[in-house]
Structure formats: C-alpha cells, structure tokens
Amino acid sequence: MPTLLDLQHAVHRSLVARNDAELASHIIPDGLAPQSRLNIYRNTFVGTLTTALRLSFPAVYRLVGAAFFESAARIFIEAEPPDSAYLDDYGETFPDFLARFAPAASLSYLPDVARLEWCVNRALHALDVEPLDLARLAAIDPQDQSRVGFVPCPSIGLVRSTYPVDAIWRAVLAQDDDAMSKIDLRSDPVWLLIERRKSGVDVIRCTAQAWRFASELFATRPLEAAIDAAPGVDASILLADHLAAGRLVDFKFVDLAGANAPEVNP
Amino acid sequence: MFPHSAVLVAERGPIPAKAGIGLRFPHHQAVIDTRPDIAWLEIHTENYMGGGAPARCLEAIRRDYPISCHGVGLSLGSAQCLDRAHLERIRRTIERFEPGLVSEHLSWSIIGGHYLADLLPLPMTEEALEVMCRHVDQTQAYLQRRILIENPSSYLRYRHSTIPECEFLAAVAARTGCGILCDVNNIFVSASNHGWDPHAYLAALPPVAIGEIHLAGHTVRQLDDGKVIRIDDHGARVIPEVWMLYAEALDRFGPIPTLIEWDTNIPALDVLLGEGGRAAAVLDRVGKRVSHADAA
C-alpha cells in the first residue's frame, strides 16, 4: 500500500510526465482502464492551465493560432507547472519559454509581445496600493536624499524591444489587419512603461533615457544610481512625474551597493 | 480541534437558507446594473485575490448581496504542508470581502510545489483522514473561523481505500468541527461513476453539519462498451435526477443555502437566475413543511 505522499508523487508523474506505470496499479479499473480515468484529470490539468495562459496572452494566441498555442502551452505547462491556484500569477516565464521554443523562431517579435502581455496581465491584477504620501518625502534629511530607493506600485511594468510590439499588440487585439500591415518591423526600438490607471491599463512609449531612469528607480535602487543611469535627463522632472502619477508607493534608504538599510517609518 | 460555536458561524453577512448563484466575470456588469432578485452570491476565492477591476466590482456588488467564498486551491488533502502563502491570500481576501461562508474541498491538488489544477481524489484511508483533519484544523485556526468542506466528483477509486467517502467526510466534520458543503450533483456523478447508492450517501451525512448545498450540470460521456462516465463540468442545467436528489437532501437536512454553479459555456445571467428560481421553489416547499411541523 503506498503512503499518501508516494501516491501523490505518482499522480504528479502521471499528470505532468504522462507516466501512468506505477499509479495505474493502485486504481480499480471497474470497466474503464486506469489510463482512461487518469486522462480525465490530465485533460483538466492541461485544459485549465491552457485557458489561464490564453487569457493572459490573448495577442500571442491570435498571432500563432489555436492549434499552435495549445501545443506550445502543453509543453510549457508540463515543463513548468504553476506553484499555486492563484493563476493570475501563472505565466511569468512563458515569454522566455517562447524565446527558446524552436517552432516559434520565425516569429522573432513573439517573445517581446508576450513580455508586454505579461506586464499588462500583471497590471490588470496587481493589488491596489495607496501612492506615497509626499509629506514623508519632504521630511527626509537632505543629506540622505541620494540614498532614497523607491518602491513602485505593483501594477508597474517596463518592457523594451527592438520591434514595435506595442503597435503589434494593439493591432492584433483590435483585429485590425490594416494597422497590422502598416507595421514596419525594422522601425526604431520601443521603450515601454505599462501601468494601471483608473480607466484601464496604459502602455506608454518613453525615451530610452527616461526608461533607463525608470528601470533603476522602480528596482528600488538609490536615486543617485537612477540619475547616473540616465545622463542628460532632468531627473527632477521625471521623478515629479512618477510621483504625481502615483507610480511610487513607498521608499527605503539603500546604499549604492544595493544593501537595504532598515525601512523608515516617519 | 476547532469548537462548534454559534458565534463562529454568525459572521457578518450570513448566508440565508435561500438560493444563490455563482458570480462569474461575464456577469459582473449585469449584476451591478440590474440588481437581480437573488438571495446571495458565491465567488471563487482565487479569482479575487488581486486588485483592479474584479475586486472593485465585487466591492460594489457585496454592498447589496451576502457573499460566500469558495476556494479550489488550498489542497487540504496534500501529504505535504499547507501552502502558507496561499492561506494568507485567502485570509486577506476574506478580510476584504467579509463573506458569510468560506469553503474548500475534500481533495488535493499540490505536490512537490506544483499545483495540478484539478480537485484530485484522495485515497479513503486512515492516513488521508488524519492529513485532512490536521489541515482543516490548521486552516480554521489561521482564518479564525469555521469552514465548509465539499465532496468532489471523482472518476477513479484506489484499491487501498477502506472508508466510504460519505463516512470519511462525516468524520472530518466530527473531528474538526468544520461544516459540510454537500454538492448534490457531485454525489450523483460519483455515485453513477462508482456504483454507489446516492441515497445512502445522503443518509450518512450528519444533518447538523450541512452548511451549504451546491447544484450544477454535468456531461455524460459514452464509453465504447455502452457504459457511461459522468464528468462534472458545470456547463449545463441541473438534470431532473439531481433535482430529485436535491429535494431528498432538503427533506433530510431542512432548508439549506443552495448555490447554482456554472463555470463552462457560461450562459446569460437570466439562465442562471432561472435555475436559482427553481432551487428557490424547492426550498420554499420544504420551508413551508418545516414551519407546519413546528406549528403542529
């Protein structure tokens, strides 16, 4: 008789690796082969997670078509099952999987479209967090200002691509063939900021310098590091914009090596 | 063990012994706009763990309807430890939406840190019973409230099972003080798939522990040898046999909050409300009989 733990590992091998050999011996056939009984659960396992990925990556789904998407999703699901039932959080590594997935190699912009969709998905579902109280910033000792590291709103995402993935993403979701045909894949790179506003999710194009500043800022690196990463930009204007848009929700004091000092609670 | 207590049951926004429906995303706006005549709504806990539009809609909806939180992902039957992060997400969701009932399943879905995205059947053994009871105890202690445990539909049985599922479920309720979410459709589906007697199943459940009833549709798959297997896909109307079993359940348990679930091929809100109306009519008849009996 298997222990509960051994049995559950055998079910994992059956559903994820399609190896029923051991598990089948523990199941009563009763007129239907154990493999057929296990197929019912396997179908739910793959089907539920494929649906979750399709909802999070609707433009990828349309770009590659249902059959291609389902076969790619199945390979991804079996290689990287989710770690919890909070499926809004499932699929973060799907773009990297697509980048390695040889049958998708001819669609060179696909992984970056997927990266954009993941940021949109995260923006849709991120927890609601109050913006930073500016009075707390004002109370910082001027000599500590360069050590301030900001905590971004959880709905914020940043994507850069050598392809105009924002235009591709919009045209695909709008099923706008005319717009799609006008997209020039050799046009300039895009630097994108994704965030949730009251009206929905916005995908905003930035300059390369503003994007570099934002990527340091939102990684809770000290303000000084963000300024160094984007020479020639007016950091005070960019920072004021981010604060006014509610993109920063907290701050800590961090040193330039990145080690966090204790969080302040003025 | 978590004690039985009226205080623990009477959380804010108690769920009345009336008909409710499962709240699904495609119906959010229609519910907000039309305020349909239905006594309560149930959500899938996992669908409202984040922020943004879903949570904002539910904030609006719950001002007018009692809400119940039904989870699919805690995996109470896992041989390994409960996922503390998921338990904390459930706690936060409950704190935010203040449901009248909180429920989970007699099943497992997580092993080795992987979520297998189905309500997988447990072997009905003393070991599994101990695991289940330990995790129900831990959950009730963490959430500081009583939960209900639902019987799942199943498509296989293990050779080493020794306890009938209905007795296993009753034992979990007796040992932990949890309530039972009696899914009448699941009883019908599993009984049909495994040759159980659905009436004996109902009779084995302790009436005082029944906190909620679920009703749903399922599909029938024809096998090569002429046999059928029933699949619980929540994608159709409740079938007549399940309505009859439901009436029998209410005869045994008295009026119990009853939910219509519909998760695949989700129809227009009116279709769900129609099914809710049918459940309400059965509840009405039983309610009248109970009040006559009280008067006599």
Residue B290 has pLDDT above 80, yes or no: no
Inter-chain CB proximity A7 and B123 less than 8 Å: yes
Residue A89 distance to chain B (closest CA, Å): 9
- Please tell me if residue B220 touches chain A, with a CB cutoff of 8 Å: no
- The structure tokens listed for B45 are 């806990």
Please answer whether residues B220 and B249 qualify as being in contact, where contact means their C-beta atoms are separated by less than 8 angstroms: no
Interface of A with B (CB under 8 A): 1-5, 7-9, 11-12, 15-16, 26-28, 30-32, 34, 37-38, 40-41, 44-45, 48-49, 81-88, 123-129, 155, 196
- The structure tokens listed for B22 are 């499962």
Residue A98 distance to chain B (closest CA, Å): 21
How many residue contacts between A and B have a Cβ separation below 8 Å? Answer: 130
Inter-chain CB proximity A85 and B117 less than 8 Å: yes
pLDDT 10s digits, A135-163:
999 999 989 888 999 999 999 999 999 99
Q: What is the mean pLDDT of residues B145-149?
A: 98
| Model confidence, pTM | 0.93
Nearest residue to B205 via CA among B161, B249, B175, B238: B249
Quickly state the pLDDT bin for B284 (edges 50, 70, 90): very high
Q: Is A76 part of any domain?
A: yes
Residue B171 has pLDDT above 70, yes or no: yes
Between CA A140 and CA A261 the distance in angstroms is 15
Backbone angle region of B129, left / alpha / beta, with phi > 0 → left and psi within -120 to 50 → alpha: alpha
Q: What is the mean pLDDT of residues B115-143?
A: 98
Task: Give Cα B94 to chain centroid, integer Å.
Answer: 16
pLDDT 10s digits, B31-84:
999 999 999 999 999 999 999 999 999 999 999 999 999 999 999 999 999 999
Residue of A nearest to B84 (CA): A84
Q: What is the mean pLDDT of chain B?
A: 94
Q: Is A253 part of any domain?
A: no
Q: Which residues in chain B are closer than 8 Å to A79, comparing Cβ atoms?
A: none
Nearest residue to A39 via CA among A27, A51, A56: A27
- Residue B149's SS3 state is strand
Task: Give Cα B143 to chain centroid, integer Å.
Answer: 18
Residue B88, exposed/middle/buried by CB under 10 A (0-12, 13-18, 19+)?
exposed
Q: Which domains does chain B have, with CATH numbers?
A: 6-295 (3.20.20.150)
pLDDT 10s digits, A191-223:
999 999 988 999 999 999 999 999 999 999 998
Q: Is A174 part of any domain?
A: no
- Residue B39's SS3 state is coil
Please answer whether residues A20 and A36 qualify as being in contact, where contact means their C-beta atoms are separated by less than 8 angstroms: no
Distances (CA, A) of B105 to A118, B183, B193, B273: 30, 10, 19, 25
Between CA B260 and CA B144 the distance in angstroms is 27
Nearest residue to A226 via CA among A248, A210, A244: A210
Structural domain for A75, as ranges = 1-107
Inter-chain CB proximity A4 and B51 less than 8 Å: no
Q: What is the mean pLDDT of residues A252-262?
A: 65
pLDDT 10s digits, B223-278:
877 889 999 999 999 999 999 999 999 999 999 999 999 999 999 999 999 999 99
- CB proximity list for A133: less than 8 A, separation 6 or greater: none
Between CA A241 and CA A227 the distance in angstroms is 15
Q: Is A126 part of any domain?
A: no
DSSP state for residue B252 in the 8-state scheme = H
Portion 37-76 of B in contact with A at CB < 8 A: 46, 49-55, 71-75
Q: Is A11 part of any domain?
A: yes
Between CA B275 and CA B281 the distance in angstroms is 10
Q: Is A46 part of any domain?
A: yes
Rounded (10°) angle between helices A110-125 and B52-61: 30
Q: What is the mean pLDDT of residues A83-89?
A: 96
Number of domains in chain A: 1
**Residue whose pair of structure tokens reads 């943004």 in the numeric block:** B52
Q: Which residues in chain A are closer than 8 Å to B113, comparing Cβ atoms?
A: 83
**Residue whose pair of structure tokens reads 């659905």 in the numeric block:** B198
Quickly state the pLDDT bin for B292 (edges 50, 70, 90): confident
Q: Is A221 part of any domain?
A: no
The dihedral through the CA atoms of A235, A239, A242, A244 has a sign that is negative
CA dihedral A213, A217, A222, A228 (to 10 degrees): 0
Residue A78 distance to chain B (closest CA, Å): 10
Residue B294 has pLDDT above 80, yes or no: no
Best of B25, B114, B125, B135 to disrupt the A interface by mutation (most A CBs within 10 Å)?
B114
Beta strands B114-120 and B148-150 are unpaired
Q: Please report the pLDDT score of residue A259 as a whole number.
A: 46
> Which spans in B82-125 are helix H?
84-97
What radius of gyration, in Å, describes the C-alpha atoms of chain B?
18
Between CA A165 and CA A117 the distance in angstroms is 10
- CB proximity list for A232: less than 8 A, separation 6 or greater: A209
Q: Is A183 part of any domain?
A: no
